Amino acid sequence: MKSKVYENASEALHDIKSGCTIMSGGFGLCGIAENSINYLATCDLKDLTIISNNIGNSGRGLVKLLKKDMIKKAYCSYVGGNPDLEQRIFNKEIDVELVPQGTFSERIRAAGMGIRAFYTPTGHGTLVAEGKEVKEFDRPCILETALHADFAIIKAQKGDSFGNLWFKETARNFSPLMAMAAKTTIVEVEELVELGELQAEDIHLPGIFVQRIYQGEDYENAIEFKKTREE
C-alpha cells in the first residue's frame, strides 16, 4: 500500500488556497483538528467557505480563522457559545447558512455516498424550507442537496499509513462523514500506528476515504464545560 503519511500540518495542508471549501470536524471543541486549524490560522488565506457544526467556540478552534477575516461563507447548525460568529452574522460580515444538525450531517454523508439529494421532514414550515421543493409523503418533506468540499480537516485518536481511523468516545461526530465528502481528506492523529495494528473489525473509517495523514502534537483537548460529581 502507498503510504499517505505526511510529516506535519504545513506539508499536509500545502495546497489549501484562498477560495477553497473546507469541512472541519468536531462538535464544539470536541474532536477538532487542532494542528491543521492552528496552521491555517498562520497562512495568508481569504474567501474560504467553511463547513463545520460550530465554526469554533468560546474564542477557540476555527474562531482563529474568523478573527483574521479568512472566512467568507460558513455552513453550520449552532451559533450559541460562539459570540465572535454571532457578532459577524449581525454585522453582515459573513454569509452564514444555518442548517439543522441532522440535515447538515446527512447532506455531508450524502455527498460521500453519491446521493445527490434527499427529502426530509426536518425544517418543513420554517425559514429553512424557504425556496426549497416540498413533496408530500406521509407528511410534507423538503428537498435537501448534498454538501461537498475541496478539503476536509479532521482528527482521529488513532490512524495507520493507509488512513484507517479509530475515534475516541464522542470525538467522532461529523469527522468520518466529512472524510467521505471531501476531494482531499487530511487527518491528524494522536497516535500514528503501524499497518495491521488496528483490528480490521474495529476500524471506524476505512482508509479509502483518506488522502493524507500526519502525527499531530501538543493537543490541548479543551473542555468547554467541566461538570463533575462528588464521591
Partner 1 sequence: MSWTKHQMAQEVLNLIPEGSSINLGIGYPTLVSEILPEDHDYIIHSENGVLGVGRRPLENEVSPTLINAGKETITTMPGASFFDSSLSFGMIRGGHIDFCILGGMQVDSEGSLANWMVPGKKLTGMGGAMDLVNGAKEVIIMMGHYSKSGESKLVKLCDLPLTGKSVVDKIVTDKGVFAINNGKFKIVKLAQNVDKSEFNGDLFEN
Residues that bind partner 1 (CB under 8 A): 27-31, 53, 57, 76-81, 86, 89-90, 98, 100-106, 108-109, 120-128, 157, 167-177, 204, 221-229, 231
Q: How far is the CB of 19 from partner 1 (least distance, A)?
A: 25
Nearer Cβ to partner 1, position 6 or 27?
27
- CA-to-CA separations, 72 to 59, 93, 102, in angstroms, rounded: 18, 8, 24
33, 56, 97, 94 alpha-carbon torsion, rounded to 10°:
-110
Nearer Cβ to partner 1, position 13 or 56?
56
Q: How far is the CB of 196 from partner 1 (least distance, A)?
A: 24
Neighbours of 30 (CB within 10 A): 21
Q: Cell numbers of 66, please?
A: 474568523
Residue 95, beta-bridge partner list: 73
- Burial degree of 89 (CB within 10 A; 0-12, 13-18, 19+): middle
Q: How far is the CB of 143 from partner 1 (least distance, A)?
A: 15
Residues, the chain: 231
Nearer Cβ to partner 1, position 21 or 54?
54
Nearer Cβ to partner 1, position 34 or 160?
34
Q: How far is the CB of 210 from partner 1 (least distance, A)?
A: 15
Nearer Cβ to partner 1, position 13 or 99?
99
Q: How far is the CB of 127 from partner 1 (least distance, A)?
A: 5
Q: How far is the CB of 139 from partner 1 (least distance, A)?
A: 9
Nearer Cβ to partner 1, position 13 or 179?
179
> What 3 state SS string does 9-24 have?
HHHHCCCCCCCCEEEE
- CA-to-CA separations, 66 to 54, 77, 93, 194, in angstroms, rounded: 12, 16, 10, 37
For cell 476500524, the residue is: 203
